Structure 1
Amino acid sequence: MTEPLSQALIEEATKKSGLIWVQGPTGPSRALWHVWHDGAAHVVGGGAGEQPVADLGLVDGATATVTVRSKDKGGRLVTWTAAVAELPPGAESWAAAVAELKGKRLNAPDAERIEERWAQQCRVLRLTPSGAVGDLPDGSLAATPLPSPATTRRAMPAALPRLLRRRRG
Structure 2
Amino acid sequence: MTRELLDRALVEEASKKSGLVWVKGAGAAAARALWHVWHDGAVCLVGDGPGEQPLEGLVDGGSAEVTVRSKDKGGRLVTFPVTVSELRSGSEEWEAAVAELKGKRLNAPDGEAMPARWARECRVLRLTPAGPVAPLPDGSLAEQPVATPATTRKPVPAGLPRLLMKRRKRR
The separation in 2 between residues aligned to 1:152 and 1:87, in whole angstroms, is 37
The separation in 1 between residues aligned to 2:147 and 2:157, in whole angstroms, is 24
Determine helix, strand or coil for the equivalent of 2:83.
Answer: strand
Query: In the TM superposition, what whole-angstrom CA distance separates every residue of 1:52-108 from its partner, at most 9, and x where no partner exists?
Result: 11x2x2111101000010000000000000000000111110000000000000111
The separation in 1 between residues aligned to 2:163 and 2:88, in whole angstroms, is 55
- Within a 5 Å distance, the mapping from 1:1-169 to structure 2 comes to 3-27=4-28, 28-53=30-55, 55=56, 57-168=57-168, 169=170
Query: In the TM superposition, what whole-angstrom CA distance separates every residue of 1:15-49 from its partner, at most 9, and x where no partner exists?
Result: 11111100001222101110000000101111111
- TM-score where L is the length of structure 2: 0.91
Determine helix, strand or coil for the equivalent of 2:131.
Answer: strand
The separation in 2 between residues aligned to 1:74 and 1:166, in whole angstroms, is 39
The separation in 2 between residues aligned to 1:49 and 1:124, in whole angstroms, is 14
- Residue correspondences, number: 166
C-alpha change, 1:144 and 1:151, in structure 2 (3 Å) is farther
5+ residue gaps, structure 1: none
* Residue identity matched to 1:37: H
The separation in 2 between residues aligned to 1:159 and 1:111, in whole angstroms, is 44
C-alpha change, 1:167 and 1:18, in structure 2 (3 Å) is farther
Identity of aligned residues (%): 66
Report which of the two structures shows the higher radius of gyration computed on alpha carbons.
Answer: 2
* Residue identity matched to 2:75: G
- TM-score where L is the length of structure 1: 0.92
Determine helix, strand or coil for the equivalent of 2:82.
Answer: strand
For residue 154 of structure 1, report the CA deviation from its aligned partner. 2.5
Give the RMSD, CA atoms, in angstroms: 1.5
* Residue identity matched to 2:134: G
